[in-house]
Amino acid sequence: MKNGMIFPFKTTWRARLDLEYLDETSGRKIAAREGQKAEKKVDQADHTAIGKNLKQFADYASKETIGQVHAGGFLHHLIVMNPDGTRSVPGALSNTERKRRISDEWFKHLKKWHTSSKNPVIQHRLVFTMSTPFHDKLVGVGLNPDTVLLSTLKKMMRDFQEKFHPTDSIGYAYGLHHDTDNLHIHVALCPRTKNGTYVGCSKSRTKTSHNRNQIDYLMQCFERENRKWEKRLSDPLTIKESIAKRLDSDRLLMVPKLSLSQMAGLRQQRTLAASRLQNSYRSILDMEAALLKKRKAFRTQKVLRSIPRLLGYKRPPANKVLGKVAIAFDRLSIRELQVKLCQHKLAYREEHHLYTQRYGTQSHAHHNSQTQSRSNRQSF
């Protein structure tokens, strides 16, 4: 897809690990934006506002996606360990704590492997971005651009690992950014695999070069993903079918948000259409809360089941079997609720579309998107 997702460039850092660059709300990034705006002499009231240049940003971005830095690959498993031997879910850690743990584990891992270089590589920095036309196409059909870009990144990292380190595991950190005209994601790639193999990120420039063309491979993978999305977006039925099969369907599909004032306006209208729209939206909120509760309980149970093993206790075979059955049942329960939520969201989108066609875009159920966008951004 010509106007799809783009992998623009890569840099290698030998001086330091800059995780603050992954956090779009960090002082370093805010200062960088201030400097860029000063150079361009752009006069804006709020220089630190996030996402002001992205269309319909308020429809899908949330406080949980703003400024968050996450770990992937083997680093994800390292940062969950607490000093007392227990485990913490990464999502339960504060952003500051996650960055601290990632940095500590990153350097602890690099120190394990001897290098003769006087100036060793600390990180490879990659940037994956999304073009505005592609972003708008996703929003137009109700798909969350954040989720699409994040899922594409994770698939790219899995493909990269399978191609160049098939029997090993790579580690990386990443942060999603909404602070420019294009949604993009910054990635810091650890230069050592879990087993200590050097992770290259080069591009062959001559036929005699011995470089492994990692960058060219990433570009090929991106082009392949672009073609897949181009096919999906060309057919609404294909989109619905592909969403239903995904494990992240509840996060991928987004719906027009209704504020408290809009909900109150629907109650005042007292029409069948307004009542159905109100009830559908409330049902979605209830199901999202229930799904979040189930996921938290599932993660907590997994941590509790691992404690005896960490303490050296061996569970009887019968208990192990019962534990596996319980995990399978919990996963099935979560999956069923995901499918149900996805179906409710699709039905709500249809009801919302019919309602706005009948009553107009300035109705209580659909305030002007720019007004809603401004009010949501102020909460950030």
DSSP string, 60-82: T--TTTTT-EEEEEHHHHHTTB-
Has residue 288 got a pLDDT over 60? yes
Q: Of 207, 223, 254, at which residue does a domain stop?
A: 254
236-285 residue pLDDT tens:
777 777 777 777 788 888 888 887 888 888 888 778 888 888 889 999 99
Of all residues in the chain, what percent carry a pLDDT higher than 90? 16
Is there a single domain that holds both residue 203 and residue 58? Answer: yes
167 SS3 class = coil
Distance, CA of 127 to CA of 110 (rounded, Å): 23
Is there a single domain that holds both residue 135 and residue 181? Answer: yes
169-226 residue pLDDT tens:
999 999 888 877 788 899 999 999 999 999 988 876 555 555 678 888 888 888 888 8
Has residue 59 got a pLDDT over 70? no
Least Cα distance to 38 among 29, 47, 26 occurs for 47
Q: Is 203 left (phi over 0), alpha (psi -120 to 50) or beta?
A: beta
Alpha carbon dihedral 80, 86, 91, 92, in 10-degree steps, equals -140
Is there a single domain that holds both residue 110 and residue 63? Answer: yes
Is there a single domain that holds both residue 176 and residue 291? Answer: no
Least Cα distance to 172 among 158, 189, 160, 151 occurs for 189
Distance, CA of 263 to CA of 135 (rounded, Å): 28
pLDDT of residue 271: 82
Whether residue 164 contacts residue 212, with contact meaning beta carbons closer than 8 Å, is answered with yes
Start-end of H helices in the chain: 27-40, 74-78, 95-110, 132-140, 145-164, 214-233, 236-245, 249-252, 260-269, 272-310, 317-359, 369-378
Tokens standing for 112? Answer: 């394990």
Has residue 78 got a pLDDT over 80? yes
pLDDT of residue 71: 92
Q: Of 198, 225, 254, at which residue does a domain stop?
A: 254
pTM for this prediction: 0.76
Of all residues in the chain, what percent carry a pLDDT higher than 70? 79
Tokens standing for 207? Answer: 């036929």
Distance, CA of 257 to CA of 266 (rounded, Å): 13
Tokens standing for 32? Answer: 């960088």
Q: Of 254, 280, 302, at which residue does a domain stop?
A: 254
Q: Could you give the number of structural domains in the chain?
A: 2
* Least confidently predicted of 102-116, 117-131, 274-288, 312-326: 312-326
13-36 residue pLDDT tens:
787 787 887 887 777 677 666 666
Whether residue 228 contacts residue 57, with contact meaning beta carbons closer than 8 Å, is answered with no
184-189 and 123-130 as β-strands: parallel, antiparallel, unpaired?
Answer: antiparallel
Is there a single domain that holds both residue 208 and residue 277? Answer: no
Q: Which residue has the higher pLDDT, 225 or 37?
A: 225
Neighbouring CB atoms inside 10 A of 218's CB total 21
Distance, CA of 200 to CA of 209 (rounded, Å): 14
324-344 residue pLDDT tens:
888 888 888 888 898 889 888
Is there a single domain that holds both residue 345 and residue 205? Answer: no
Give the residue-averaged pLDDT of 75-82: 86
How many degrees, rounded to 5, is the angle at CA 165 between CA 161 and CA 166? 85
Q: Which residue has the higher pLDDT, 202 or 121?
A: 121
Whether residue 179 contacts residue 129, with contact meaning beta carbons closer than 8 Å, is answered with no
Tokens standing for 231? Answer: 């096919």
Is there a single domain that holds both residue 160 and residue 198? Answer: yes
Is there a single domain that holds both residue 182 and residue 322? Answer: no
Distance, CA of 80 to CA of 170 (rounded, Å): 17
Whether residue 161 contacts residue 189, with contact meaning beta carbons closer than 8 Å, is answered with no
pLDDT of residue 174: 92
Is there a single domain that holds both residue 164 and residue 305? Answer: no
Is there a single domain that holds both residue 302 and residue 220? Answer: no
Has residue 148 got a pLDDT over 60? yes
**Which segment, 158-162, 266-270, 350-354, 367-371, is predicted with the most confidence on average?**
158-162
Q: Average pLDDT, whole number, for the chain?
A: 78
pLDDT of residue 346: 86
Distance, CA of 97 to CA of 92 (rounded, Å): 10
The range of the structural domain enclosing residue 295 comes to 258-380
Has residue 45 got a pLDDT over 70? no
Is there a single domain that holds both residue 263 and residue 323? Answer: yes
111 SS3 class = coil
Is there a single domain that holds both residue 155 and residue 206? Answer: yes
